[in-house]
């Protein structure tokens, strides 16, 4: 059995057809979903990018003990366990945060390829490469901080000629090349590939044909592909007109469709290489993306609302019934445990190895129908800054105070920080309108009911605090 994990950064479930979106064009992921199990209530517990991957790699919760940081020496990762179980392992990614000094997320992989150039990656540093900012809307580079990041990105992509130059295409082609090499060497079993794609993370700059699928009719200005986040107004909805927000949402939707195109190419190659029917395939996202909901664009505030915390999770296994949807709550630490359970690898390792101390739960009983649920709720938050819990009907948000720095977005700003608890009735049938029809207030959580539903809030808070104490080992 092979294991292939496809990470799509910042992909919102409500922007996939298989999750009920009627206007998005994602035919390849939707087709894959027909052969998979769709998890409707999957959530990241610790946010954003790096804490999520820590949970995925180690099977442990991060919310109470670490935020944006490197792997620790005592961590036991999925790749190390599979390598120790005779798997050929590969890690291919353009998520440049994983490549930063000391991060060590490549541990346990035989083959590692970092595809450079995403976002502010200092990849192309030649000052002779000129950047023409006049082609882009000033709201990409409104402050000096944003300008520096934006110019770096434009330098990184200065030589693009066609669609195959986009990062999602490069990552997919690199993944295909590694698989072809293994198959050509006669190895078609016990392969583990973690394909970590930064797209559809911003900058949202899909080829014009993808953007035009969703372009609002009333927008005729320059492109906004990386809405500015610097300064006191960075990333706040009030800094953008409604017309600009609709344009930004169309750019994001176009990026999603571009990603779908190349994931489809990857799937076709798996079939061509005769790996499709002998592989456990997991397609997921690390988190979603605020696109105007709750007054922000991009992850500029540590607010784990539904549009950020809920993730895509599709699992295909040749021995599991396909096409079904599971509404049980699942969390990112469950993924590693599930993969190990599928492969029947014992957690108790040999005397030469380290035994992982996992906290997640295997989803195999849910996939086989032996159980209907693992838990009654899901948690999410940012280390030392925000906590949340949601059940089928409600979502509760608590703000424990500034006990840790927020790595990205605007800096700590007292007047923007939240201190009062929030309770929402969660609209689980919410699907965002097409970009051209979006209006402020379109979101799955609308009215704060904390004063009206005190008893419900207190019950949820008790469950949340008990869970957090268990995670912390208290």
Q: What is the mean pLDDT of the chain?
A: 95
The answer as to whether 219 is a domain residue is yes
User: Whose CA is closest to 64, among 359, 278, 363, 462?
Assistant: 359
The answer as to whether 460 is a domain residue is no
Q: What confidence score (pLDDT) does residue 381 get? A: 96
The answer as to whether 470 is a domain residue is no
DSSP H helices, 74-114, are 78-83
The answer as to whether 376 is a domain residue is no
CA distance 217 to 40: 33
Asked whether residue 9 carries a pLDDT value surpassing 60, the answer given is yes
Asked whether residue 352 carries a pLDDT value surpassing 60, the answer given is no
CA 398 vs. chain centroid, Å, equals 22
Whole-model pTM over 0.85: yes
**Per residue in 322-341, pLDDT tens?**
889 999 999 999 999 999 99
**Per residue in 421-472, pLDDT tens?**
999 999 999 999 999 999 999 999 999 999 999 999 999 999 999 999 999 8
Q: pLDDT above 90 covers what percent of the chain? A: 90
Q: What confidence score (pLDDT) does residue 356 get? A: 84
Find where tokens 């784990």 sit: 304
Q: What confidence score (pLDDT) does residue 285 get? A: 98
Count structural domains, the chain.
1
Range of the domain at 337: 2-371
The answer as to whether 450 is a domain residue is no
**Per residue in 153-203, pLDDT tens?**
999 999 999 999 999 999 999 999 999 999 999 999 999 999 999 999 999
The answer as to whether 434 is a domain residue is no
The answer as to whether 380 is a domain residue is no
User: Whose CA is closest to 53, among 126, 105, 118?
Assistant: 105
Q: Are strands 378-382 and 46-47 parallel, antiparallel or unpaired?
A: parallel
The answer as to whether 403 is a domain residue is no
Question: Domain of 250: which CATH number?
Answer: 3.40.720.10
């Amino acid at each position: 059995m092979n294991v292939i994990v496809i990470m799509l950064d910042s992909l919102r479930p409500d922007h996939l057809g298989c999750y009920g979106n009627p206007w998005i064009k994602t035919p390849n992921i939707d087709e894959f979903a027909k052969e998979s199990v769709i998890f409707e209530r999957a959530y990241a517990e610790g946010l954003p990018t790096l804490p999520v991957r820590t949970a995925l790699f180690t099977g442990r919760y991060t919310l109470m003990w670490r935020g944006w940081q490197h792997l620790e020496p005592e961590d036991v990762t999925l790749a190390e366990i599979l390598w120790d179980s005779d798997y050929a392992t590969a890690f291919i990614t353009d998520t440049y945060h994983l490549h930063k000094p000391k991060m060590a997320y490549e541990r346990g992989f035989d083959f590692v390829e970092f595809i450079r150039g995403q976002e502010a990656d200092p990849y192309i540093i030649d000052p002779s490469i000129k950047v023409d900012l006049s082609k882009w809307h000033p709201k990409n580079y409104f402050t000096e901080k944003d300008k520096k990041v934006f110019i770096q990105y434009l330098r990184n992509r200065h030589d693009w000629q066609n669609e195959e130059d986009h990062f999602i295409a490069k990552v997919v082609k690199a993944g295909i090349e590694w698989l072809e090499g293994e198959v050509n060497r006669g190895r078609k079993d016990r392969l583990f590939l973690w394909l970590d794609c930064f797209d559809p993370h911003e900058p949202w700059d899909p080829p014009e044909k993808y953007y035009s699928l969703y372009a609002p009719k009333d927008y005729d200005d320059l492109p906004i592909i990386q809405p500015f986040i610097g300064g006191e107004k960075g990333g706040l909805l009030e800094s953008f007109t409604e017309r600009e927000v609709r344009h930004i949402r169309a750019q994001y939707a176009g990026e999603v469709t571009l990603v779908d195109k190349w994931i489809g190419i990857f799937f076709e190659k798996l079939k061509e290489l005769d790996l499709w029917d002998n592989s456990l395939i997991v397609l997921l996202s690390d988190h979603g993306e605020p696109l105007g909901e709750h007054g922000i664009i991009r992850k500029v505030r540590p607010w784990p609302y539904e549009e950020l915390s809920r993730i895509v999770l599709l699992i295909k296994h040749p021995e599991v019934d396909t096409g079904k949807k599971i509404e049980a709550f699942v969390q990112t630490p469950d993924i590693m445990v599930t993969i190990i359970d599928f492969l029947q690898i014992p957690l108790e390792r040999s005397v030469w190895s380290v035994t992982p101390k996992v906290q997640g739960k295997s989803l195999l009983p849910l996939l086989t129908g032996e159980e209907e649920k693992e838990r009654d709720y899901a948690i999410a938050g940012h280390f030392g800054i925000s906590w949340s819990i949601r059940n089928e009907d409600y979502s509760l948000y608590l703000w424990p105070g500034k006990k840790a720095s927020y790595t990205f977005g605007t800096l700590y700003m007292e007047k923007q920080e939240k201190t009062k608890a929030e309770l929402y009735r969660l609209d689980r049938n919410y699907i965002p309108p097409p970009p051209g029809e979006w209006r402020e207030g379109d979101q799955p959580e609308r009215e704060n009911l904390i004063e009206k539903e005190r008893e419900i809030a207190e019950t949820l808070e008790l469950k949340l605090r008990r869970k957090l104490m268990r995670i912390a080992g208290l």
